[in-house]
Amino acid sequence: MQADYVIVGAGSAGCAIAYRLSEAGEKVLVIEHGGTDAGPLIQMPAALSYPMNMGLYDWGYKTLPEPHLGGRSLVTPRGKVVGGSSSINGMVYVRGHAGDYDHWEESGATGWGYADVLPYFKRMESWHDCDQGGDPDWRGKDGPLHITRGPRDNPLHDAFVESGRQAGYPVTSDYNGEQQEGFGPMEMTVWKGVRWSAANAYLKPALKRDNCEMIRGLARKVVIENGRAVGVEIERGGKVEVIRAEKEVILSASSLNSPKLLLLSGIGPAQDLAKHGIDVVADRPGVGKNLQDHLELYLQVASKQPITLYKYWNLIGKGMIGAQWLFTKKGLGASNQFESAAFIRSKEGVKYPDIQYHFLPIAVRYDGQAAAEGHGFQAHVGPMRSPSRGEVTLASSDPKDAPNILFNYMAHEEDWEDFRKCIRLTREIFAQEAFKPFVKHEIQPGDAVQSDEELNAFIKEHAESAYHPCGTCMMGAKDDPMAVVDPECRVIGVDGLRVADSSIFPRITNGNLNGPSIMTGEKAADHILGKTMLPPANDVPWFNPDWKTSQR
Q: What is the pLDDT of residues 275-310, one digit of tens each?
A: 999 999 999 999 999 999 999 999 999 999 999 999
Is 190 flagged in the annotation as binding? no
Beta-carbon neighbour count of residue 347 at 10 Å? 14
Q: Does residue 146 have an active-site annotation?
A: no
pLDDT tens profile 125-163: 999 977 778 889 999 999 999 999 999 999 999 999 999
Residue 128 lies in a domain: yes
Residue 548 lies in a domain: no
pTM of the shown model: 0.98
Range of the domain at 391: 2-529
Residue 303 lies in a domain: yes
Residue 545 lies in a domain: no
Beta-carbon neighbour count of residue 37 at 10 Å? 26
Contact partners, residue 102, CB within 8 Å, separation at least 6: 113, 114
pLDDT of 484 reads 98
Percentage of the chain with pLDDT > 70?
100
Going by their DSSP bridges, the two strands 228-236 and 145-149 should be labelled as: unpaired
pLDDT tens profile 242-264: 999 999 999 999 999 999 999 99
pLDDT at 371 over 90: no
pLDDT at 235 over 80: yes
Name the residue type at position 435: F
CA–CA separation, 435 vs 54, rounded Å?
Answer: 36
pLDDT of 131 reads 77
pLDDT mean over 178-200: 98
pLDDT of 539 reads 94
pLDDT mean over 24-51: 96
Residue 2 is classified by DSSP as E
Is 89 flagged in the annotation as binding? yes
Residue 224 lies in a domain: yes
State the total domains in the chain.
1
Q: Is residue 280 a contact partner of residue 270, using CB atoms and an 8 Å limit?
A: yes
Burial of 122 by CB count in 10 Å (0-12 exposed, 13-18 middle, 19+ buried)? buried
Residue 35 is classified by DSSP as B
Is 364 flagged in the annotation as binding? no
Active-site entry in 146, 157, 294, 468: 468
Is 249 flagged in the annotation as binding? no
pLDDT at 366 over 90: no
Is 75 flagged in the annotation as binding? no
Residue 164 lies in a domain: yes
pLDDT mean over 22-39: 97
* Residue 417: CATH number of its domain: 3.50.50.60
CA–CA separation, 57 vs 50, rounded Å?
Answer: 10
Residue 534 lies in a domain: no
Residue 537 lies in a domain: no
Sign (positive or negative) of CA dihedral 319, 320, 323, 329? negative
